Amino acid sequence: MNRSQTGASSQELLARYQAAFMPNYGVPPVALVAGQGCLAWDADGRQYLDFIAGIAVSSLGHAHEALAEAVGEQVHSIVHTSNLFINEQEVLLAEELRRLLGGQGRVFLSNSGTEANECALKLAIKYGKSRGRGRGGRGYFVAAENGFHGRSMGALSLTGKQSIREPFGPFALDVRFVPYGDAQALAEAVTGECAAVFLEPTLGEGGVVPPPDGYLAAARQICDDTGALFVMDEIQSAIGRTGTWFAHQHDGVRPDILTLAKGLGGGLPIGACVGFGPAGELFAKGDHGSTFGGNPVACAAALAVLHTIEKEGLLGNAAEVGALLKDGLAALGHPLLAGVRGRGLWLGVVLAEPVAARVEAAARDAGFLVNAVQPNVIRLAPPLVVTAGQAGALVDAFPSILDAAKEG
């Protein structure tokens, strides 16, 4: 369980990684080779409690039997069909997503969150070209400063994080960025010439930043008043991460287009774009496609994830353990701890100094995997199966982790 298949040490694997891969990720500090639930082991046999879950992906944790059985059974049946043929797993998954969304929506299945957002963008472009007060239709888009929607050129054009945008601009699309959470700024930016508004229900890569109360409802109303589509990017936040199936359900709003990925496949690559009402019928035959989208193995995995979340009561677990984790950390009173924000098992630990990278390293040394998502924010997104005891272990260890980070 806790050794690499070839017997290579962590140091050996890191050196081979550096020689074989492009340098866009740098060299990750740990070579993980096995996992069970919320535990993971590196190539040297060291054990960690995983509070990253592959960036909010491993909903059921590592090596969950239901996921393994579903994938194995499907591999022994049929692995791939392409979009030229129907496979039953994709139909079942689309129907299940519609059920969880109140029996509404039309689904497109992709391989990732970025691709789900590309689908949403193409829908919005087609909508914009066919409608609008001006002769040219609706020609621009609105998104949030510090928002994140992906790294392909279309999704990147909607991403408000300047450090990753600037090296690849200029972009073909007219996207206007507004401060996240500022309803007045959003209202001023969205006119009858706007095709769509793209928002996250909470900024994920921006540091797990929730909006003010009423912001998403205000965004919904602004789009209704102007005729712009409201696109909700729930790549990170959906599939139970905040204690409900979809984070927008906390606010009682429904977008015109919803994008999903990450936790949906429990570790296998899959994404989904769901269009509601007219937005679900914008595409004509040939407008969009994906060779691997709707892959039966990935869909079988996603179905296992959804069914297991229901069977094991993991929505409630995310809410309950998330509250224990948030309250426990907030009560520590450490001088380096400025606060904790977020909901469920999607939390941002805000630091009083920009030392998140040092906190991440100190946590790793203490046997916990966490993520420095911003210079002053640690992101926590453990598997939905995390226990109260495991959350308590991190809370208990956190003061010494912060002490170690402060000492440098």
What's the mean per-residue pLDDT of the chain?
A: 95
333-356 per-position pLDDT tens digit: 999 999 999 999 999 999 999 999
Strand-by-strand arrangement of the 368-369 sheet? 32-36, 39-42, 47-50, 368-369
pLDDT, residue 97, reads 98
Q: How many domains does the chain have?
A: 2
pLDDT, residue 7, reads 86
Residue 264 in domain: yes
Residue 287 in domain: yes
Mean of pLDDT values over 118-147: 87
Boundary (domain end) residue, out of 312, 327, 346: 312
Residue 304 in domain: yes
pLDDT, residue 190, reads 97
Instruction: Report which DSSP code applies to 368.
Output: E
Among the ranges given (25-34, 130-139, 229-238, 264-273), the one the predictor scored with the smallest mean pLDDT: 130-139
Say if residue 259 is in the same domain as residue 307. yes
Q: Are 42 and 10 in contact (CB under 8 A)?
A: yes
Q: Give the domain CATH number at 325.
A: 3.90.1150.10
Backbone angles phi, psi at 332, to 5 degrees: -70, -35
Say if residue 307 is in the same domain as residue 319. no
Per-residue confidence band for 407, with pLDDT thresholds at 50, 70 and 90: confident
Q: Please tell me whether 113 is known to bind a ligand.
A: yes
Residue 5 in domain: no
Strand-by-strand arrangement of the 175-178 sheet? 106-110, 271-275, 257-260, 229-233, 194-199, 140-144, 175-178
Rounded to whole angstroms, the Cα distance separating 10 from 173 reads 43
Q: Which residues contact 382 (CB under 8 A, 6 or more apart)?
A: 38, 49, 50, 51, 52, 53, 345, 390, 391
Active site residue 42: no
Instruction: Tell me which residue has tokens 């420095």.
Output: 372
pLDDT, residue 131, reads 79
Rounded to whole angstroms, the Cα distance separating 62 from 79 reads 22
Say if residue 17 is in the same domain as residue 150. no
Please determine, for residue 393, whether its predicted confidence score (pLDDT) is greater than 80. yes
pLDDT, residue 6, reads 80
Active site residue 233: yes
Closest CA relative to residue 123, chosen from 228, 263, 260, 262? 228
Q: Look up residue 284 and give its two tokens.
A: 């004509």
Q: Per the confidence metrics, is the pTM higher than 0.85?
A: yes
Mean of pLDDT values over 1-17: 84
Please determine, for residue 277, whether its predicted confidence score (pLDDT) is greater than 50. yes
Say if residue 108 is in the same domain as residue 223. yes
Write the burial class of residue 43 (CB in 10 Å: 0-12 exposed, 13-18 middle, 19+ buried): buried
Say if residue 212 is in the same domain as residue 320. no
Three-state SS at 332: coil
Neighbours of 110 (CB within 10 A): 26
Q: Please tell me whether 148 is known to bind a ligand.
A: yes
Please determine, for residue 71, whether its predicted confidence score (pLDDT) is greater than 80. yes
* Active-site residue, selected from the candidate residues 262, 326, 368, 398: 262
Residue 337 in domain: yes
Q: Please tell me whether 36 is known to bind a ligand.
A: no
Active site residue 161: no
Please determine, for residue 133, whether its predicted confidence score (pLDDT) is greater than 60. no
Please determine, for residue 1, whether its predicted confidence score (pLDDT) is greater than 70. no
Three-state SS at 21: coil
Q: Please tell me whether 184 is known to bind a ligand.
A: no
Residue 2 in domain: no
Residue 4 in domain: no
pLDDT, residue 101, reads 97
Boundary (domain end) residue, out of 260, 294, 312: 312
Boundary (domain end) residue, out of 281, 312, 343: 312
Please determine, for residue 249, whether its predicted confidence score (pLDDT) is greater than 50. yes
User: What length does the chain have?
Assistant: 408
Peptide bond into 211 cis (omega under 30): no
Q: Look up residue 211 and give its two tokens.
A: 């909006």
Say if residue 208 is in the same domain as residue 232. yes
Q: Please tell me whether 89 is known to bind a ligand.
A: no
Dihedral Cα 60, 110, 208, 221, nearest 10 deg: -120
Say if residue 283 is in the same domain as residue 191. yes
Say if residue 294 is in the same domain as residue 331. no
Say if residue 349 is in the same domain as residue 214. no
pLDDT, residue 221, reads 98
Q: Please tell me whether 137 is known to bind a ligand.
A: no
With a pLDDT cut of 90, the percent of the chain lying above it is 94
Triad 148, 149, 150: Cα angle to 5°: 105
Please determine, for residue 135, whether its predicted confidence score (pLDDT) is greater than 70. no
* Active-site residue, selected from the candidate residues 233, 256, 276, 398: 233
Say if residue 45 is in the same domain as residue 74. no
Q: Are 72 and 391 in contact (CB under 8 A)?
A: no
Per-residue confidence band for 136, with pLDDT thresholds at 50, 70 and 90: low
State the residue range of the domain holding 206.
66-312
Per-residue confidence band for 357, with pLDDT thresholds at 50, 70 and 90: very high
Q: Give the domain CATH number at 107.
A: 3.40.640.10
* Active-site residue, selected from the candidate residues 51, 108, 141, 148: 148
Please determine, for residue 132, whether its predicted confidence score (pLDDT) is greater than 80. no
Q: Are 355 and 406 in contact (CB under 8 A)?
A: yes
Say if residue 176 is in the same domain as residue 306. yes
Mean of pLDDT values over 9-35: 94
Residue 3 in domain: no
pLDDT, residue 138, reads 87
Q: Please tell me whether 242 is known to bind a ligand.
A: no
For 113-188, strand residue ranges (E) read 140-144, 175-178
Q: Are 282 and 126 in contact (CB under 8 A)?
A: yes
Say if residue 45 is in the same domain as residue 145. no
Q: Please tell me whether 291 is known to bind a ligand.
A: yes
